[in-house]
Amino acid sequence: MQFSKVIGQQQLKDSMIEAVANGRISHAQLFLGPEGNGALPLAIAYIQYLFCKNRTNTDSCGTCPQCQRITKLNYPDLHFVFPLALSKDVEKSSDVFPKWKEAFLKDNYMSLTDWMNFLDAENKQPVIGVGESKDILHQLSLTSYEGSYKVMIVWMAEKMNLVAANKILKILEEPPDKTIFILITESTQLPVTILSRTQITKVPRLTEQEIAAALIKRNGQSPEMAASVARTAEGNYRFAQVLLTEDEDAQFFSKKFQEWMRICLKLDGDKLADWIGNSDNGISTIGREKQKQFLAYSIQTIRHSLLLDKLAISISASDEDFLRKFSPYISFEGGNVIFEELNRAYHAIERNAHPKILFTSLSLKIHDTLAQARRAITA
């Protein structure tokens, strides 16, 4: 990872370059700052700059064997420690390093939540446990591959439990020769003894302009969309990415919902089959999590159509246009029947119901309700 791949943080990059040039590299450093600031990719770019054989005075070369291996997190003198969902098979970071590497290479700005989701361990407490300290000592005691520094990056160091923190402190107090520790943390909730042993670098939030530029360059967003997302992202690039996906999802759900209600109203079998499963984005093909989100979106939209003239609700002009035409088909009673059906479907998806069968029967029930309303209107 080159500095040029890290968003913003130019001042810090400059001082890292200077530290390497002067050979003044502290053996115990702490990068402190909020989520989405890019502290982890920055630390890796820094180490790559240190190890690069052809560095310039602005960046590593990106092509020498050292750069190539570090970019793939495949460098024998660079080790990582990170929080885990501990179990009897997983006690230390090296037990799941290939997975962590995969997650990081997929998204250099991943958050701790992203990592736990990646492990399918959303409900577990992420911990850096005591199993690490032995492994750290072992890794650092090995002869360095290049005869140069050995580096240990501890990501989300605030997740160290007390025993692990004490052991790591001991290592920081008497570090093996030519080792560099970089602890990365989002909070100062670390033992004071650790804070006092490390050189602290504050890694600030990104600016709105930096986030906007990154959304255009890395995510291919339009300048307008990038600016709007950057305004709400609070200097957190990871949050900006979440906002973008939500926005894309919202557009997809809105389109899908309008198609669905039109199909239900007329009950067109071929179109329904397409909508459920034969088209590219058939609802049965998008995965359970998204199906649940779509049902939640549908519940919300039915609610909006009942409240359309009663409450100020913030919806887009095209959604409002649709709801104006659609809301006459949603009576208070009918709306409640649909609510209940959508709710039931939501829970059925959680319990692994078959999506094609579920959406077919749900569509028939919604059709019944809408058709009743239509008869009442035309009568």
Residues forming the site for Zn ion (CB under 5 A): 52, 60-61, 64, 67
Q: Which is nearer to Zn ion, 64 or 337 (CB)?
A: 64
Q: Specify the residue, 60 or 221, whose C-beta has the smaller distance to Zn ion.
A: 60
**What's the min distance (Å) between Cβ of 23 and Zn ion?**
18
Of 145 and 209, nearer to Zn ion (C-beta) is 145
- As measured in angstroms, the least distance from the Cβ of 54 to Zn ion is 5
Give Cα 168 to chain centroid, integer Å. 28
CB of 64 to Zn ion, least distance (A): 3
Residue 149 or 346 with smaller CB distance to Zn ion: 149
Question: Distances in Å between the alpha carbon of 252 and those of 30, 255, 256, 347, 369?
Answer: 42, 5, 6, 22, 25
For residue 32, which phi and psi values (nearest 5 degrees)? -120, 130
Could you give the CA distance from residue 10 to residue 203 in angstroms, rounded to a whole number? 11
- Tokens linked to 341: 């059906």
- CA dist 115 and 101 (Å) reads 10
Q: How far is the CB of 303 from Zn ion (least distance, A)?
A: 57
For residue 159, give the DSSP letter: G
Least distance in Å: CB of 194 to Zn ion? 32
Residues 6+ apart with CB under 8 A from 5: 41, 45, 108
Please identify, using beta-carbon distances, which residue of 67 and 182 lies nearer to Zn ion: 67
| CA 317 remoteness from chain centre | 30
188 in the Ramachandran plot: left (φ > 0), alpha (ψ -120 to 50) or beta?
alpha
- Minimum CB distance to Zn ion smaller for 67 or for 156: 67
Which C-beta is closer to Zn ion: that of 74 or that of 232? 74
DSSP at 180: E
Evaluated on CA atoms 111, 17, 234, 181, the torsion sign reads: positive
* Three-state DSSP state, 188: coil
Q: Output the smallest distance, CB 67 to Zn ion, in A.
A: 3
CB of 130 to Zn ion, least distance (A): 36
CB atoms within 10 A of CB 74: 10
